[in-house]
Structure formats: C-alpha cells, structure tokens
Structure 1
C-alpha cells in the first residue's frame, strides 16, 4: 500500500483521532487491502481500497451516492469525532441486520473505501478442500445471501449495459476498437426488455462471489466479504459470475462433459426442457445451489448472463493489467472462454491499444 493511499486511510472519519496500526494484507484481493487494529480496544477491521476505477463505474454499490459516507453501529462509529449521516446510517444498519449471519458488519463506506469487521480466518481459496467441497460451501453462502430481504430502495438494480460501457470508457481505446467493442456489447448484453420479465424474481446479489471472497473461521463458519457490488438482480447473475471467475467451474460449463448433468425432475416444464428432451445441466455449481436454496435455476438466463460476465471481467482485468502485469493472464483466459462460448472473432485488439 503506497504512502498516498495510506494517508487517505488515516484521514477516514471512522479512524480520525484513534490510535491504530495498519497492516497491509498481501494477496487478499485485486485492490489494496489492509487490517486496521485499534489500540484502545483491540478491535480489528478489514479495509479495502476500491480503486479509482470504481468511482465512475456503473456497477451497483451499497453506496447509491458516492459522496455520502455510510456508517454502521460499531465501536468506531461511537467515537466522538464521527458525525454520521443518519439516513445513510439507517440504510446500512438495516443491511447489517439483514446480513448478520452471512457477512461481517460494514463499519464505513464511501466511493473509495470499504471497512468491515475483520474475520480472523482463512479464505476458502486457501482451505485444504477439494474444488467440489469449496463449491458446495460457496453455493450455501450464495443461497443464504439470496434469501435475505431488504427494504425497497436499499439497493440499486443491476445495470450490466452501463457497467460495460463505463469499462469501455475507462479503457480509452482508439475509435475503431471502441466501435468494434461496443457493437459486440450490444450483441451479447441482454436487453432491458428481456431482463424485465425476471425482475419480479430479483434477489440480493453479491456480484463477485468466488473462493477468495469467502472467509472461513476456525470453527469452519464461512463469511462473505467484499460487498461493494451488492445489487438486486436475478439469482442467475450471481451464478454466472461465480462460474465465469472460477476456472474449473467454467471449464466444466463449457465442456461437452456438462451434458452428463441432468435435471432431477424430468417432469419439469421450464424453458430448460425443449421438444420433450432434458437439456444439459451445467455442472455441480448449479446443482449445489438448487440443493441449498430450493429454488429452480433458469439455465437459459444463466447462459445469457455468462458471456456478459466474462466480457466484463475481461475488460476489468485488462484495465488492471495496465497497472500490474499479473492481471493480463486472467484477462486472456476470460477472453478465451468468452470466444469459446460465443464463437466470436478474436478480441486480441483489446491488448494492442
């Protein structure tokens, strides 16, 4: 964490006037993260710098107004130096109550920072479990999140079209490349009319559930962290993003081997059954989710979301790759998966601008 970011953190209202230690966390995510320990009461907090690209990005956030600070009812908030915005505090308190058994409390959030209670555990990614065991835990956590209820207006609805267009703008491509990319986005992105039919089934979605965003305590209790992209969307969006960002799960989805997975209920009359034949079941992630949630997954909608998630991830990794080359490999495999899934022409021009 560089000095400029550290100084910004030290000036956050939730830490103002407090004696704290800041410990950078290596490998804890794609943006700078640290652990902050308060010396007075030994409280520990996980702090994530959301990155400048998140200020203008259209991905929904718990913070509907980037200039409003959000506070929760934690020890730091009770410090005399803090003057919380009450309507924002109420909003976050409601969210913390709804997610109390799923995610550590949000202590503070603005356009660049998110502060949560620190979970003293190991990321699911680093746990000594098989991929299938990790997937089962992730699906349990996802199902629990989707079952939560928040008051109307607490979260913004998903807007993938705006998110993609925002990423294109941040990439600052040449005119020809931008036109080619925008044409592709208009082709693969689900239309508002097409998605509107599923709005009644919207749930609270995380938007970035992967093994690294689930912390497991010593008692094996999992916690979902990194809530910056919470939004209202069909459950299939969260599943698509999970599949897109997990290489083995994605390979299983795209592979012909996925045809061995069948729906348990052959009498299901959903759109996933055509001409009286059971359609391919896309892997253990969806099986596990359906078992945990008791909800039916619309695989057609899942398939519609998946290429959009792959493309959005690709653009994000390319943008991050300009700062750190370690992200370029991730951009390449996301693009390769997108091309394989959509049978589209090469997107190599995105790396030459």
Structure 2
C-alpha cells in the first residue's frame, strides 16, 4: 500500500530525521499505522498515534524503555512516536508452525509482564504529562457499545446486564484480596513482543495501558492470545515464579478473563465495516467468534450465570 502524500510530508518534516533514504509503510497491527524510516545514519520505527491515547503511550514507552523493556524513544509529539528500529520479527510469527510455539512465547510474555508490574508507582504517578487511568470495565464496555452501531437495543441491554454481573464480582474479589493497582500493559498479545537478533525481547504498543491489578494483565494475556482456559493455573504459577512477592487471586483472574473476552469481542466487532477489505472483515469476525466462544465456555465451566454471547451476537457475525 503506497504512502499518502500528507503522511509522507509529515514524516519528512519531523526534526529527528536527517537525510531520509527510504520510508516504508509496515502492515503489522490491526489498530495503528507504522513506518520504517531509513536515514543516512540510522533506521527508525515510527508509529502514528491515536489522539485519545497519545500521551499515555508516549509516557509508558519512555518509562518502559528506561528499564530496557521497550525500544529507546528518540522523538515524540502529539501525532508521532519515534523509537529505535529493532531488526526483528514479532514473536507472534517467530515460532510459526512449530509445535513448541506456546512454550517458547509464553515465558517471554510473562517475563516482560512481570518486570513491567514491578515498576515503582513513583516512577509514573508523579509525571505531569502522564494520563494513565484506572481500569473501569463498565465504562470500557459502554464506550465499545457506543462504537457498535449494528447492535440491537436488546443486545446492548443484555451485554450491559452481563457486564454488571462481571463488574460486581470483580469488585467483590478485589475487596477480599486487597489488590493494588500497578502499571498494566493491557494488550500483551504476541504481536506486541519483538525479539532482536541477539535474542532480547521488547514490549511495544502501550495504547491500552491502564492502572489495574496484576490479575487483569494476566487475564487479558490469556484472552487476547486465545490461550486455552485450562492453562490458567499453569500461567499463574509461572508468573508467581517470576514475582514470588506478588499474590494472585485466581478467582479475580477468572472474572477479569470474562471481562477481557467481552471487551475484545466488542472491539473486533466494532472494526467490522463495509469500508474495509472483505479479507479484513473476515479476520475481525473470526477473532470476535474466538473471544465469544471462549467467554461462553468459561462461563459454563464455572457455572456463571451470564447469557450465551454466541447466541446473542450471532446476527452480528455475518461474515
């Protein structure tokens, strides 16, 4: 896909580039636009930011880079984030067609996650330009429902009722276990982890970062990567080996997993439009179905009284 003239001009005008040799549009990612910019002296990774999450993403990228969890931030403004280019491929593709892919990818993700969770709050709550917010499941679902114009009033009502059940259970479990909020990435899917030639791993894309209990990041990691729900205890135990001082409430992970699956499904559905290529419409539909099916499976296995999302949203999954 060729670069639009307006974006090419904007990139060329950024003060961090000296002697641009080539600009390539990168196709990875479902929700953002990224570029590889080659100059006389260096190669850069450039991400076009969303207005609503720009400050948060820049802030988290800087904090994470200080701990060598993310690539070095070279330049940023309200529209662009420029980092060092890591000559690599996403972990999501790194073990393609390998029977050991799960065991290879999972430790990388959990290691980066656990290191992120150990950042001291003073590192991020004192910064004046940080706009990190505390995770609010009900508000997140409400925003996503507003973006899904194809949903009927009945579908919205039932999803709202299911969200209330999940939200109340999360509040109850948080109260019982006395959880504290930490910096959570909020979207540690395997495509947001890259490895360099030396085997170092890097965490990218902080647009979904939130202040939330560690149980949320663990749950979203399981949900967004479509990891079998029977792996939940295994993943919690591996996380605890990395951070023994943390306590993990398994019941809270379960409820956050339901919330994550619902949020992801609604997000994928919100992206389906006749304005995008049919292949992408099909991809979003498949991803939504995966999240919805796992939501129903997890609810049934744990005798949770929530409606069947697959039955409820069947008419919205037309592709």
Q: In which range does the TM-score fall when normalised by the shorter chain? A: 0.7 to 0.9
The 1:119/1:195 distance shift into structure 2, 3 A limit, reads farther
Picking from 162, 166, 183, the partner of 1:188 is: 166
Instruction: Please list, as runs of the form range in 1=range in 2, the aligned pairs for 1:67-216 lying within 5 A after superposition.
Output: 95=63, 99-106=66-73, 107-108=75-76, 110=78, 114-128=81-95, 130-149=101-120, 150-152=123-125, 154=130, 155-172=132-149, 173-190=151-168, 193-194=171-172, 197=175, 201-216=180-195
Segments of structure 1 that go 5 or more residues without pairing to the other structure are 56-60, 65-69, 72-90, 259-281
Secondary structure of 2:146 counterpart: helix
Distance change in 2, residues 1:346/1:38 (3 Å)? closer
How many Å separate the matches in 2 of 1:241 and 1:151? 22
Q: Is the 8 A contact 1:143 1:292 kept in 2?
A: yes
TM-score (norm 1): 0.71
Partner of 1:320: 271
Change (3 A) 1:306 1:113: farther
CA distance in structure 2 between the aligned counterparts of 1:181 and 1:9, rounded to whole angstroms: 42
Q: Which runs of 4+ in 1 moved over 6 A?
A: none
Once structures 1 and 2 are overlaid, which stretch shifts more, 189-198 or 209-218?
Answer: 189-198
Unaligned runs of 5+ in 2: 301-306
CA contact (8 A) 1:208 1:241 kept: yes
What is the alpha-carbon distance in structure 2 between the residues aligned to residue 43 and residue 288 of structure 1? Answer: 36
2: CA distance, partners of 1:314 / 1:332: 7
Mapped contact 1:136–1:285 kept (Cα < 8 A)? no
Determine the C-alpha separation between the residues in 2 that align with 1:216 and 1:92: 19
1:289 aligns with one of 207, 222, 239: 239
- Tell me by how many angstroms 1:239 deviates: 0.2
SS of the aligned residue for 1:319 comes to helix
On the 8 A contact 2:268/2:285 being kept in 1, the answer is yes
- Relative distance call for 1:190 and 1:8 in structure 2 (3 A) is farther
Q: Deviation per CA, 1:172-209: give whole Å up to 9, x if none.
A: 22322222222222222246853763676211110000
Do the aligned partners of 1:202 and 1:233 also contact (CA within 8 Å) in 2? yes
SS at match of 1:29: coil
* Secondary structure in structure 2 of the residue aligned to 1:11: helix
Query: TM-score when scaled to structure 2?
Result: 0.78
Does the Cα contact within 8 Å between 2:117 and 2:214 map onto a contact in 1? yes
Structure 2 counterpart of 1:271: none
Residue of structure 1 aligned with 2:308, choices 339, 345, 348:
345
Deviations 1:141-169 (A, max 9, x none): 11111111223254221122211100000
1:305 and 2:306 equivalent?
no
SS of corresponding position for 1:30: coil
Q: CA-atom RMSD, angstroms? A: 3.0
Q: Shift in Å at residue 48 of structure 1?
A: 4.4
- C-alpha contact 1:313 1:334 (8 A) present in aligned 2: yes
Contact 1:114/1:228, CA 8 A, preserved across alignment: no
Partners in 2 of 1:23 and 1:348 — Cα distance?
Answer: 43
State the secondary structure of the residue aligned to 1:201. coil
**Distance apart, 1:349 and its partner CA:** 4.1
Aligned length: 288
State the partner residue of 1:46: 46
SS in 2 for 1:313: helix
